[in-house]
Structure 1
C-alpha cells in the first residue's frame, strides 16, 4: 500500500471518529454537548439536535467502505470528501453565524482529505467487481 493511499484511509477514519465522538454523546445529551461547545441550547426541542447527531453518526457509517478500500469503493471515497465540502458550505456560507465550529471541523478535514484523495486515485484504474453469473443458462438467453 502506497503512501497517499494509506494516509487517505487514515484521514477518512479520523473524520469518522471525530464525527462519532461528537454525534454519539449528542444523541443522548444534546444540550450538554451544545453547552460544551458554547452553542445555544435547544431547551424546548432537544430532539432536533439529537436527531441531527443521529444523522451525522449514520452518515459517517457510509464513509466506511471508502475508508477500507478507496480503490474498490471509489464513488464512496469521493462522496465522503464531497460531504465535507457540503458541511463547509452549509455551516460557513449558508449559516455563518450559527455553528461555525462544525464548518471549521469539516474545512480542516476537507483540506486534509481532498489532496489525499486526488493522490490516491490519480492514475489508478477503477476496480470493477466481477459480473455476477446470469440466472439463465446461455442457451436460454434471448
Structure 2
C-alpha cells in the first residue's frame, strides 16, 4: 500500500515539476503567479516519497519510518482540509492512504507480537 501511495504521489508530482500551472488547473485551482513554488513543492513531494521506500520494503526494520509515513499522510489531510480546502482531492487521497497504511501497520505490529 505504501508503494501504491508513492506511485499516486508521483503521478501528481512529476508533471507538476515541469508544468505546475497545468496540474493546478487540472485539479481545480486557478492560475499561479509564481510557478516555481508549486514546482518546488512537487519536487519536495517526490523527495518525501523516496523516504517512504525503506518502510515499504521492511517495516519491521524501519519501524520509525513506517510510523512517520502514516503520520505524514495525516499531516497532509490536516494541511489540505484546514488551509487549502479547494484541493480536497489531495486531502482525500492522503486520508485513504493514511487510514489503509495505518491499519496495515497495526496489523503488522499485532502479528509481530503474536509471532
Query: Structure 2 unaligned runs (5+)?
Result: none
1:26 corresponds to 2:29: no
2:94 corresponds to: 106
How much does 1:123 deviate? 4.8
Structure 1 alignment gaps of length 5 or more: 1-10, 126-142
Q: Which has the higher helix share?
A: 2
Between structure 1 and structure 2, the one with the greater Rg is: 1
The 1-side partners of 2:8 and 2:89 are apart by: 13
Structure 2 length normalisation: TM-score? 0.92
CA distance in 2, matches of 1:16, 1:48: 21
SS in 2 for 1:40: coil
Runs of 4+ in 1 over 3 A off after TM superposition: none
CA RMSD of aligned residues (A): 1.3
Indicate whether 1:66 and 2:41 are aligned: no
1:79-90 correspondence runs (5 A): 79-90=68-79
